Structure 1
Amino acid sequence: MTTPSTALDKSLNAFHLWGIAVGLVISGEYFGWSYGWAQAGTLGFLVTTVAVAAMYVAFIFSFTELTTAIPQAGGPFAYALRAFGPTGAAIAGYATLIEFVFAPPAIALAIGAYLNVQFPGLDPKHAALGAYLVFMGLNIVGVHIAATFELVVTVLAVAELLVFMGVVAPAFSVSNFIVGGWAGQDSFSLGALGGIFAAIPFAIWFFLAIEGVAMAAEEAKDPKRTIPIAYISGVLTLTALAFGVMLFAGATGDWKSLSDLNDPLPQAMKRVVGESSGWLHMLVWLGLFGLVASFHGIIMGYARQIFALARAGFLPGVFAQVHPRFRTPHRATLAGGVVGIAAIYSDSLVSVAGQSLTASIVTMAVFGALTMYVVSMLALFRLRRSEPGLARPYRAPLYPVAPGFALVMAGICLVALIVYNPLIFAIFAAIMVVAVVLARIVGKPAAVGPVSTFDPAI
């Protein structure tokens, strides 16, 4: 049973949760995805994105069943613990932790890069450090304050993407998008097929971390009702924005000039309105809202994952304590921040296989996400068989087809990622093996039983 010293504040409504769901991901609409064009071309990457979007829609509609049936801060860790016991829980928990701890440094560096454009004398790494300090502090002072801030910046970020599409719409030309759209060729080839698979991590970046809403489940009001609303509306919002941003950016001119940039949207708009336009300056400045929304939201996510792992005995118990006044996992928030800041200032260690620091971090996070998706869908099937009487306020539609499709697609994406990133996978696998073995040897996992440790009355 959850004790008062580890009880989280329950104050989030459906709108807050929608803000978290979209905000966790929305930076992916601003940067990162355009590297997929360099791998597959616009049309090849469109194929990749359609397949990945279908996977995420099927996954979220299925994942929501787990979140409402077991509304715990550990999210996938809690579902795997229930379904497979401590070993399965350790795999899901540490994979999720890698995803959520490694994604924020990439976003923080992007924040630093945006600020460096406006203030050339500001070191992007120092700006990234400042972002960590500010938003860890905001997360610690209260979940309602943090979630309300997340909601505001998410709404602004969504509005900005709609403005972008409206401003560049007059220059929209289908021919711009399709010329050389198959990995630089005008027609499909086997080389384009390889590019489609190589571009998978960049399509996943459009949606990465939406599952983090599950980690706010213990802080939600009426989670059985609010979580399905947030998840389903969130994934549909993100799908519409992902395709809108990609199509409008690629149809404004030569898409190849945007395929290796961290700021594809400002550059696409610049071609339409010119460098001195107020619309362009607005996009550059307000672009920070999208980055901040994801950065801030993912800090919320990693803190809850560390908290849940510690509470269950898979990490030192010191990280399971909540702040006596704010009722937030303050020590877990600081611990994840230390890892992220170390990554920012360790580019020579984090950058591997000839990739940039940002690309290496993104790929590592995607490995964690895909591993967690596979385990979560397996847990859904396992719990349907082992606990048919478990209260399921929301049941996955089209079962078993939808979760089966999500499972197969996640497996295909994981295999493709391993083929194209063997060195980063080796690092990921080594971290996972060490973490799981240590958790089983020195950890003190909580007992697994048929009754959830979450008490909705607290």
Structure 2
Amino acid sequence: MEAENPNQASGTHLARSLGPVMLWGLGVGYVISGMYFGWNLGLAEGGTLGMAIATGLIILLYITFTFSYTELACSIPKAGGVFDYAHRALGKKWGFLAGMAQVIEFVFAPPAIAAAIGAYFHIFLPGIPVVVIAMFAYLVFTTLNIIGVKAAASFELIITILAVVELLIFAGITLPHFEWANLEKNSLPHGTKGIWACIPFAIWFFLGLEGIANVAEETIQPQKTILKGFGSALLTLIILCVLVFVSSIGVAGWEAIVYASPGAAPSDSPLPLAMAQVTGNSGWVYHLLITIGLLGLIASFHGIILAAGRASFEFGRVGYFIKAMGKIHPKFKTPANALLINMSLGIIALLTGETGAIITIACFGAVTLYIISMVTLLRLRQKEPNLDRPFNVPFYPYFPIIALCIGIVCMIAMITLYPLISLFYFGILAIAYAWFHFFVKNIADEQHPNSPGVDNLPGK
């Protein structure tokens, strides 16, 4: 296949350079900021018990989804991820909607993380506004991603390892002060409704893991490497999720890591609040761990920018977005235009200052992706039983069906509890689909004969 050759002179082909360790670093890195902030906002909605139940449901979702999605990624190792899978199984319309949901997820997640980076740095640099720090972070890490995927992935691996170590140190300091009674304090403040309200914040614990599939086109032997990357990353993240949840709430109850003071706005930095309960907020241990903790935010911020660039690039490459987004930088061989446009959109979202709403929009995109990708897997099994599948999801069809059902439940819960945000999200999808329907779908294949139609995808 043409795209398999890394030495192609074409300006639309990505070079292969990533192995399983790099994929583990990317997978954990995409997600690890979810351990550092964002999830604690769910505690204000459902308390410890509500958030725990929601998180357990989401862990089951990600276990079943990840193994199912790995089958798709190994069978169709393309930069567009779910866009390419759905395009093949369900046709152009569903392929576009799936790809658009993925782009929304990956474009809206970074500004929420950037806001948290700004909030963490603001602890040490109170004279610099949070938004200025966040915008500077966008410029730095977009530039790094433009320079090259191997350099970007190597940097990601290093900071991800440091971020994991920091979480282990955090747990080591806080767990000796754990008291079970702290988990029981006001554990379900808004009743069972609070459980459903926690769902997007539980998803935030793991959101972005599917981004591993978007670098499949840049992975060495993707049919073998992707499984190793997905599986090891998921196991690492589940362990860290449970550890952070228990150790941070266990020191003083959930309210202590949501509100810096009584009546204050919910905080974007729960781990510093938990640490302050143990070490105070002026000791060297506190400041050291907060400094290292920034690496977790940076790992996810940088990693999701990388995945977002590939998702947007694929849309541009097949003519579903502006053509410039589908071009590769002639020197660095990276999707520079897609990265720059994503940065511009992310900064606009950042300037709204609505971190909780931005997280929820990203989660709407993610859940849409999960639902469509599971339908895609079930459809491909029927439509192309002889497709080369280097990895088969275990317990088929139960795993994809479980993931599909949980995804639908999550979508219904989020629409019910966040109606205005859901209108905004589906409004974006509707406007994008109108553009696709009236201006793109009838000419895209003619202009781009190598678009991901059935005859042009691997395994056919």
1:279 aligns with 2:285: yes
Q: Partner residue of 1:65?
A: 71
1:405 aligns with 2:402: yes
Matched letter for residue 422 of structure 1: P
Written as runs of structure 1 = structure 2, the 5 A alignment for 1:43-442 is 43-183=49-189, 191-259=190-258, 260-347=266-353, 357-442=354-439
TM-score by length of 1: 0.94
C-alpha distance in structure 2 between counterparts of 1:104 and 1:179, whole Å? 33
Contact 2:76 2:457 in 1 (8 A): no
C-alpha distance in structure 2 between counterparts of 1:213 and 1:431, whole Å? 25
Q: What's the offset of the Cα at 1:346? A: 3.8
Q: Which whole-Å deviations, capped at 9, do the CAs of 1:424-445 have from their partners, x for residues lacking one?
A: 1111111101101211321243
Matched letter for residue 368 of structure 2: T
Q: What's the offset of the Cα at 1:450? A: 3.4
Q: Which whole-Å deviations, capped at 9, do the CAs of 1:297-324 have from their partners, x for residues lacking one?
A: 0110111011101111211211111011
Q: Partner residue of 2:454?
A: 450
Contact 2:84 2:452 in 1 (8 A): no
Q: What's the offset of the Cα at 1:452? A: 4.2
Q: What's the offset of the Cα at 1:449? A: 4.1
C-alpha distance in structure 1 between counterparts of 2:253 and 2:344, whole Å? 41
Q: Which whole-Å deviations, capped at 9, do the CAs of 1:343-367 have from their partners, x for residues lacking one?
A: 22244xxxxxxxxx00111111111
C-alpha distance in structure 1 between counterparts of 2:444 and 2:257, whole Å? 48
Q: What's the offset of the Cα at 1:182? A: 2.1
TM-score by length of 2: 0.93
Matched letter for residue 366 of structure 1: C
Q: What's the offset of the Cα at 1:123? A: 1.2
1:15 aligns with 2:21: yes
Contact 1:86 1:445 in 2 (8 A): no
Gaps of 5+ in 2: 259-265, 446-450
Contact 1:85 1:448 in 2 (8 A): no
Sort the Cα spacing of 1:164 and 1:81 in 2 relative to 1 into closer, same or farther, 3 A. Answer: same
Percentage of matched positions with identical amino acids: 43
C-alpha distance in structure 2 between counterparts of 1:341 and 1:454, whole Å? 36
Contact 1:63 1:376 in 2 (8 A): yes
Secondary structure at the counterpart of residue 5 of structure 1:
coil
Q: Which whole-Å deviations, capped at 9, do the CAs of 1:232-265 have from their partners, x for residues lacking one?
A: 1111111110111001111111322223321111
Q: Which whole-Å deviations, capped at 9, do the CAs of 1:84-112 have from their partners, x for residues lacking one?
A: 11100111011000000011111111111
Contact 1:70 1:452 in 2 (8 A): no
Matched letter for residue 423 of structure 2: A
Q: What's the offset of the Cα at 1:5? A: 1.3
Matched letter for residue 416 of structure 2: V
Q: What's the offset of the Cα at 1:135? A: 0.5
Task: Kindly tell me the number of residue pairs found equivalent between the two proteins.
Answer: 439
Secondary structure at the counterpart of residue 322 of structure 1:
coil
Q: What's the offset of the Cα at 1:284? A: 1.1
Sort the Cα spacing of 1:452 and 1:398 in 2 relative to 1 into closer, same or farther, 3 A. Answer: farther
Sort the Cα spacing of 1:452 and 1:236 in 2 relative to 1 into closer, same or farther, 3 A. Answer: farther
Matched letter for residue 435 of structure 2: L
C-alpha distance in structure 1 between counterparts of 2:142 and 2:426, whole Å? 28
Secondary structure at the counterpart of residue 6 of structure 1:
coil
